[in-house]
Amino acid sequence: MLRSIRLKELGFECAHAAILPWKLSNGNEGQDKDWRRADVTRKKAEQLARAFRRRPMEELSLVTVTRILGRGERQWDCDSILRGNAKQLIDALVSAGWFYDDSPQWISGCLGFQDSTRREIGPATEIGIWIFKGE
């Protein structure tokens, strides 16, 4: 994919990637001041993440979150990709052992993408963990 080539050109290497059966929401209604909805979403994400347990990354990581569109879904504005339930998914991956925590000490950034070329496996979310190897 184009983003993979660009990240490699910038000195990053993909350390891990996984496609999760998680449908991203764009949070068009916004993150509630009422914490309950986000808490329910986080618990669902943690339940899913248990099946994808792994050892924590020992290096500073850049995380890519790719929304794989399903049949009939339309692309969102680029600023909507990480605005909905992506936060709860990253938190769930922390609890599943992918990272020690989601602080800047372990995750330097998070980039959101969309992919309409793999609709047969969507809706889903692909998580990529990228490590800077530099030159």
Q: Name the architecture of domain 2-24+35-132.
A: 2-Layer Sandwich (3.30)
What is the Cα–Cα distance from 86 to 92, expressed in whole angstroms? Answer: 10
Residue 121's pLDDT is: 97
Residue 135's pLDDT is: 63
pLDDT digits (tens, 9 = 90+) for 88-123: 999 999 989 999 999 999 999 999 999 999 999 999
Q: pTM of the full predicted structure?
A: 0.87
Residue 27's pLDDT is: 74
List the pLDDT tens digit at each of the 135 positions of the chain: 667 789 999 999 999 999 999 999 987 655 555 667 777 887 888 888 888 888 999 999 999 999 999 999 999 999 999 988 999 999 999 989 999 999 999 999 999 999 999 999 999 999 999 999 976
Q: Where are the domains of the chain?
A: 2-24+35-132
E strand intervals along 2-119: 12-20, 61-68, 107-115
Residue 108 identity (one-letter amino acid)? S
CA-based angle 129:54:83, to the nearest 5?
Answer: 45
At what angle are helices 36-49 and 86-95 packed, to 10 degrees? 50
